[in-house]
Amino acid sequence: MRQIILDTETTGLNARTGDRIIEIGCVELVNRRLTGNNLHFYVNPERDSDPGALAVHGLTTEFLSDKPKFAEIANELRDFVQDAELIIHNAPFDIGFLNAEFSLLGLPPFSEHCGEVIDTLVRAKSMFPGKRNSLDALCDRFGISNAHRTLHGALLDSELLAEVYLAMTRGQESLVIDMIGDADEGDAGGGKRVKLDTLELVVLTAAPDELAAHEALLDGLDKSVKGTSVWRTQPAVENASATADVQIA
């Protein structure tokens, strides 16, 4: 699965009143692994940034004056995200600006060229209701170092968000994916890959002396609680064949 973590910096907060994109950063994930195949542009917005926005990103009009205009990078950006799943923090903001830029060029909306859009801000609010869920706050929560982030930058923020997203969605299924891998994928470490669906779990049955020790332990528990311990309130296995069906990993 191909995913693109995307972030933008802009001259202000409102694309409808003429604010423009000045930086775009895209970081590629394939099957939850960073590929290093990233895309990054500074863009000449042909206008000044609002003072508040300038304080956030630090990209001056002078610095951006010799950078390509959005029309010059639109095709490359569109091709890079084509059909990929996008991961964005506060997605309506970035998608709104990208759609506005494409509209100025008479092109179909940017959102028509990508697949599903995952908003990590929405997901974070669901996971941590009532808490701060800015990118910095999530980095702190997941133990991701952002000490080098003194100003906002689209590529840096995308790289941090990639780590945050992987931490937010890390579960047992990701471990299974990492262990199985693709059947035809080479192993750089030289070791053998194990397909979990081919493993047979060993069936272990208790020996008579082990059963006797178990009963003695339960007798001790019954005595300590002056009654029947919880372990004897569970349904008993009725026959040996049923016992043999219990697999212990």
Active-site residue flag, 152: yes
- What are residue 228's phi and psi, to 5 degrees? -105, 125
Asked whether 30 and 1 are in contact (CB, 8 A), the reply is yes
* CA pair distance 105, 88, nearest whole angstrom: 23
Helix axes 70-81, 91-104, angle to 10 degrees: 120
Pairing of strands 33-34, 85-88: unpaired
The catalytic position among 40, 89, 152, 214 is 152
* CA pair distance 146, 160, nearest whole angstrom: 7
Instruction: Tell me the three state secondary structure of residue 7.
Output: strand
Burial of 21 (0-12, 13-18, 19+ CB in 10 A): buried
* CA pair distance 54, 39, nearest whole angstrom: 23
Long-range contacts of 60-65 (CB under 8 A, 24+ apart): 64/22
Catalytic residues: 152
